[in-house]
Chain A
Amino acid sequence: MPFGNTHNNFKLNFKVEEEYPDLTKHNNHMAKVLTKEMYGKLRDKQTPSGFTVDDVIQTGVDNPGHPFIMTVGCVAGDEESYEVFKDLFDPIIKDRHGGYKPTDKHATDLNFENLKGGDDLDPNYVLSSRVRTGRSIKGYTLPPHNSRGERRAIEKLSVEALTSLDGEFKGTYYPLKSMTDAEQDQLINDHFLFDKPVSPLLTCAGMARDWPDGRGIWHNDDKSFLVWVNEEDHLRVISMQKAGNMREVFRRFCVGLKRIEEIFQKHNHGFMWNEHLGYVLTCPSNLGTGLRGGVHVKLPKLSTHPKFDEILKRLRLQKRGTGGVDTASVGGVFDISNADRLGSSEVAQVQLVVDGVKLMVEMEKKLEKGESVDKMIPAQK
């Protein structure tokens, strides 16, 4: 948020108790972790670009959360946030990412050939396959914090990089603020268009400022690879197609990412990455791979099985409705994707999706025949 360092210095005139937020009714990772003492320790710090602890936590203060859904409740404003506010981020990261320690190292593996199988998910059940991640461009601050000038520079650089792609990646950029009605309709029909964020989780973190300035969508002519510019992250990279060839989706994902990264590096603006946190993104929940690989799959019987949620948990997968996060499933069709982001590689996470979905489709078929699936319930992965 553009409150930054200067206003922060003024706030230091007031006592810690006076400034410490009231988190008594809150249920999010930030509220669990941020004590008054920690707040007192962090409040006079700022990153070099002027992002402060209040900027980090505002979204968590404004959104107390739900007893059943544990949101993160904080964001990074730049790469250095995760270092300057380590005391706050490390325990949140540990809690959110299965015990990941400050000393742990994250493995990146975008070598699609390491994936086993994945090209034979039954298209009678698996309607579509998709892999997405985010990337932040080094040298710029992140969506909660960046100025219009920075956001436009990110867009300009991204467009240069993307429009230089060729072959299967040849495509076009559609800036949100100047697209025609016809283009808009087409992008909606293709399920590509992203909207101005309405979720208060995002708006309270300052991510919708100046909409739609500097925002846009790029996609290849085949409509199988697309990039969102300046939505919740600098870039969201998505590879998708109908039916169940996750292997192909992942191949295109890895190849495309690599090509894009090369171009950014040539311009001295590689992606934000380090060996502890992997790819650095706005929300701590997306650190590591930032990868959500998933399918839309028909599981009308399995989804009503009493052990469905337990099965997902053991497979390290999560379910969502077909509208994406925070939506309900329609007609027994679920969005099934990996739950992990940090501490395992891209290949490993997509492998879990491939293996897990394959197993669940087998279970669905068994249930269709009226057979039991109890013996198929997997061990915890």
Chain B
Amino acid sequence: MMASFTRLIAGRNPAVLLASLGAGTVAAGVLLSDSSALSAEGKKSLYPPSADFPDLRKHNNCMAAALTPAIYAKLRDRVTPQNWTLDQSIQTGVDNPGHPFIKTVGCVAGDEESYEVFAELFDPIIKDRHNGYDPRTMTHPTDLDASKITNGVFDEKYVLSSRVRTGRSIRGLSLPPACSRSERREVERVVVTALAGLKGELTGRYYSLGDMTEQEQQQLIDDHFLFDKPVSPLLTCAFMARDWPDARGIWHNNEKNFLIWVNEEDHTRVISMEKGGNMKRVFERFCSGLKQVEQLIHERGWEFMWNERLGYILTCPSNLGTGLRAGVHVRLPNLSKDTRFSKILDNLRLQKRGTGGVDTAATGDTFDISNNDRLGKSEVELVQMLVDGVNYLIDCEKRLEKGQDIKVPSPVAQFKK
């Protein structure tokens, strides 16, 4: 940094000298800036990558762990075809140093090509976050055949509700961090048009966030469907809340068990949910609904972002692959007090959250239990793991109720790190 500073004060840039002579009129200001050091080319020499490298010494996120000065120097001046840059990808991770106990991802994609153009950064992050999955050498399996799920109906004495969610991005349009207003509106148009074609138990309607009535808003809140303008700095620092609520909305079917968020953190978030323990039916509807939506957008010449290295492409690297979080709200009054609870969850590759979702605390004895993994295993595999895991937890709970002992299961297999 000292070097660039010395260059500044010793600078013989004629434009800068002119300015210091007090050529204060705006016209002169514009003239001198044509040749000023502020143009893109000039900036590159005045501010080499080392001058711009972020200070990540107090940071704890996947981006900070992976981004070296060498990688930054290599990638700083590259752009994707939509002209998205590395600095834009990492801004959220620079602005949110994280917590010693919680490792966030710390970067986002602005478009499908980000994962390729900035592969030197994204690949190690993906490996870190997804249990050693290597996009250079491995392929991701996609399997949306719900009929393969076994034992997928839970004891409703314990399981209060079941839910599966994923995200889908529309190929050819930039992702929420990068999209312009017109692109975002195009996403809304494409998706809403497609959803209008759903029939039978999936017939529904769309509620635009900006245009909904007070009544509609209240109903959606009561149904636990409404999403808010993001307040988490993880999202706002990644430019995802721009132009709110323009082109954001919620679609749901008349049965209120299949819903789609438009232009929140991803182009679409697709959610299948119902009260009770019939995860199999929830997943069946999920797969059927997704396939129908995909068919409907294909008819109009659109498709989802997907490739065999990374599966479904979403904004946050943590959601690559299946983008799938399958979970239940389950009562575990005895098990949750057992000291082995966390270890059991770990080995089953499950995570617990509060019933308010990510970063909330559990109320009472009811937990949100869902799969940890997203990439490297198919949807069917992950849902089966969740099903098997929840059944195991319920079994433990029943044993503890009867005063019997429980066992910590052996860890489910993962890839080599």
**Interfacial residues, chain A to chain B (CB-CB below 8 A):** 1-3, 5-7, 9-11, 14-15, 18-22, 25, 47-50, 54, 58, 61-62, 78-80, 82-84, 138-141, 147-150, 152-153, 156-157, 177, 203-204, 208-211, 213, 265, 267-270, 273-277
User: Knowing that A14-B182, A22-B210 are A-B contacts, what are 15 other residue pairs whose CB atoms are under 8 Å apart, sorted by A's residue number?
Assistant: A1-B239, A2-B88, A18-B181, A19-B181, A83-B30, A84-B30, A138-B16, A149-B51, A153-B47, A209-B91, A268-B9, A268-B17, A269-B20, A273-B24, A274-B25
Chain B residues lying within 8 Å of A5, measured Cβ to Cβ, are 40
Kindly state whether residue B102 has any CB partner on chain A within 8 Å.
Answer: no
B1-22 residues with Cβ-Cβ distance < 8 A to A are 1, 4-5, 8-9, 11, 16-17, 19-20, 22
> Which A-B residue pairs are the 3 nearest by beta carbons?
A18-B182, A149-B47, A149-B51
- Find out whether the CB atom of A19 lies under 8 angstroms from the CB atom of B19: no
Any chain A CB within 8 A of the CB of B151?
A: no
Q: Does B414 contact A (CB under 8 A)?
A: no
| B52 contacts the other chain (CB 8 A) | yes
Q: Is B88 within 8 A of A18, CB to CB?
A: no
Name the segment of B118-126, B241-249, B311-319, B371-379 touching the other chain. B241-249
- Say which residue of A14, A48, A153, A208 sits within 8 Å of B33 (CB atoms): A48
Q: Which of B47-64 contact A (CB under 8 A)?
A: 47-48, 51-55, 58
Q: How many A-B residue pairs have CB under 8 A?
A: 153
B8 touches A2 (CB 8 A): no
**A364 to chain B: closest CB distance in Å?**
42
Give 25 pairs: A residue, B residue, CB < 8 Å, sorted on A: A5-B40, A7-B83, A7-B178, A14-B182, A19-B182, A49-B33, A49-B38, A50-B40, A61-B242, A62-B242, A80-B33, A139-B19, A147-B87, A148-B51, A149-B48, A149-B52, A150-B47, A153-B51, A209-B91, A209-B94, A211-B95, A213-B54, A265-B20, A270-B20, A273-B24
With A49-B38, A265-B20 in contact, is A79–B29 under 8 Å at CB?
yes
Whether the pair A48, B243 counts as a contact (CB closer than 8 A) is: no
Residues in B lying within 8 Å of A, measured CB to CB: 1, 4-5, 8-9, 11, 16-17, 19-20, 22, 24-27, 29-30, 33-34, 36-40, 43, 46-48, 51-55, 58, 79, 82-85, 87-88, 91, 94-95, 178, 180-183, 185-186, 210, 236-237, 239, 241-244, 246
Complex interface: chain B residues within 8 A of A139 (CB): 16, 19, 36-38
Q: Which of A62, A83, A269, A273 contacts B16 (CB 8 A)?
A: A269
Q: Considering the complex, give the chain B residue whose CB is closest to the CB of A17.
A: B182
A22 in contact with B246 (CB, 8 Å) = yes
**Which of A7, A19, A204: most chain B CB closer than 10 A?**
A7
The answer to whether B29 touches A274, judged by C-beta atoms less than 8 angstroms apart, is yes
Please report whether the interface of chain A is mostly helix, strand, loop or mixed according to DSSP: loop
Residues of A within 8 Å of B243, CB to CB, are 21-22, 61-62
Query: Do A10 and B55 touch (CB < 8 A)?
Result: no
Answer whether A18 and B185 are a contact pair too, CB < 8 Å, given A79-B29, A149-B4: yes
| A residues in contact with B27, CB < 8 Å | 83
Also in contact, A48 and B38, with CB within 8 A (given A2-B87, A14-B180, A79-B33): yes
- Chain A residue with the shortest CB-CB distance to B231: A200
CA distance A179 to B125 in the complex (A): 31
CA gap between A49 and B88 in the complex, in Å: 16
In the assembled complex, the CB of B210 is this many whole angstroms from the nearest CB of chain A, namely 7
B52 to chain A, nearest CB (A): 4
Given contacts A14-B183, A139-B19, A213-B54, contact A6 B88 (CB under 8 A): no
Cβ-defined contact, B83 with A6, below 8 A: yes
Query: Which residue of B9, B26, B87 is within 8 Å of A276 (Cβ)?
Result: B26
Q: Which residues of A contact B11 (CB under 8 A)?
A: 268
A147 to B9, CA, bound (A): 19
Distance to closest chain A CB from B39 (angstroms): 5
CB-based contact B4/A153 at 8 Å? yes
Pair A157/B5 contact, Cβ less than 8 Å: yes
> What residues on B are CB-neighbors of A147 within 8 Å?
43, 47, 52, 87
Closest chain A residue, CB of each to CB of B82: A10
Residues of chain B within 8 A (CB-CB) of A9 are 83
> What CA separation (Å) do A79 and B242 show in the bound complex?
25
With A and B bound together, what is the CA distance between A211 and B47 in angstroms? 19
The CA-CA distance from A3 to B94 in the complex, in Å, is 16
Distance from B64 Cβ to chain A, minimum over Cβ atoms (Å): 13
Give Cα A140 to B4, complex, Å: 14
Cβ-closest chain A residue relative to B185: A18
Min C-beta distance of A367 to chain B, whole Å: 44
B19 contacts across to A, CB distance below 8 A: 138-139, 268, 270
- Chain B residues whose C-beta falls within 8 Å of the C-beta of A1 in the assembled complex: 239
**Distance A213 CA – B241 CA, assembled complex (angstroms):** 23
Residues in A with CB closer than 8 Å to B95 are 208-211
Q: How distant is A67 from chain B, measured CB to nearest CB, in Å? A: 18
Which residues of A are found within 8 Å of B4, using beta-carbon distances? Answer: 149, 153
How distant is the Cα of A17 from the Cα of B91 in the complex, in angstroms?
Answer: 30
Instruction: Pick the contact of A148: B17, B33, B36, B54 (CB < 8 A).
Output: B54
Residues of A within 8 A of B242 (CB): 58, 61-62, 204
> Which residue on chain A has the smallest CB distance to residue B33?
A48
Contacts of A19 in B (CB 8 A): 180-182
Q: How far is the CB of B188 from chain A (nearest CB, A)?
A: 12
A11 to B186, CA, bound (A): 13
CA distance A149 to B19 in the complex (A): 21
A82 contact from B8, B26, B181, B237, Cβ within 8 A: B26
Determine which of A15, A141, A157, A210 lies in contact with B94 in the assembled complex, contact meaning CB atoms within 8 Å: A210
CA distance A44 to B144 in the complex (A): 45
- A204 → chain B closest CB, angstroms: 8
Taken together as a complex, chains A and B put the C-alpha atoms of A156 and B5 apart, in Å, by 8
Give the residue name and chain of the A residue nearest to B236 (CB): A203
A372 nearest CB across to chain B (Å): 48
B26–A7 touching, CB < 8 Å: no
Chain B residue at minimal CB-CB distance from A22: B246
Q: How far is the CA of A1 from the CA of B91 in the complex (A)?
A: 11
Q: How far is the CB of B14 from chain A (nearest CB, A)?
A: 11
A7 touches B82 (CB 8 A): yes
B232 to chain A, nearest CB (A): 13
Shortest CB distance A73–B (Å): 13
Residues of B within 8 A of A62 (CB): 241-244
Q: Which residues of A contact B47 (CB under 8 A)?
A: 147, 149-150, 153
List B contacts of A211 (CB < 8 A).
95
> Please, which residues of chain B bring their CB within 8 A of the CB of A25?
210
- Within the complex, the shortest CB–CB distance from A58 to chain B, in Å, comes to 6
Other-chain residue from A3, A58, A267 in contact with B88 (beta carbon distance below 8 A) = A3
Q: Determine whether the beta carbon of A48 is less than 8 Å from that of B24.
A: no
Q: Known: A49-B39, A62-B241, A149-B52. Contact between A267 and B9, CB under 8 A? A: yes
